[in-house]
Amino acid sequence: MCDACVPYKDLTEDQLNDQIDRISATFVGLPLVVGAPMVMGPEYWLEVARHQVEVGIRICCEPIKDYQPGTSIDKDSAAGLWVYRDGVEGVEDPRDRIKRLAREQHEEYLAEVERRRGKRGASRKR
C-alpha cells in the first residue's frame, strides 16, 4: 500500500464516498465507446466501485483528465467526453493510439504472412 492510501477500516464516510465516486467515473464514458455509457444503470456501477474499494483498490493519485457527461442523446455526444486538464502534455490521444496500434498490428500480420510464404516457397524448392 502506498503512503497516500488509507486502509478501509480507517476511511471516513466522505473518503469512502470519494473513492467510490472516483472509481465509478472510470466505468462511464469509456474512450472510443459509442452508445449507452451505462447499460446496467448507475446503482450497479456504484456497487461495483464499492466492492473494488473493499478489495483494496484505491485511487490516490491526482487524475490528469476529467469526465464530462454527454449533453444530448445524439450518438456523437451521448457517451460524454474525457478532457485532459490544463498543463497536461505528452499524452497520446486514445483515438490516435488505437489507430497507431491497429496499423502496427496490421503491419506485423502482413510481415508474418510474408515470412510464412517465404518458408513455404523455400520448402517447395527442395
Higher pLDDT, 96 or 28: 96
For 99-117, how does the pLDDT look when each residue is reduced to its tens digit (9 = 90+)? Answer: 999 999 999 999 999 999 9
**DSSP helix/strand/coil, 16:** helix
**Closest-CA residue to 66 (of 54, 83, 45, 78):** 83
pLDDT at 54: 93
The pTM (predicted TM-score) of the whole model is: 0.55
In 25-126, which residue ranges form alpha helices assigned H by DSSP? 42-54, 94-125
pLDDT confidence band for 50 (50 / 70 / 90): very high
pLDDT confidence band for 41 (50 / 70 / 90): confident
CA angle, 37 then 89 then 105, to 5°: 65
Cα–Cα distance, 27 to 31 (Å, whole number): 10
pLDDT at 32: 65
Cα–Cα distance, 2 to 32 (Å, whole number): 31
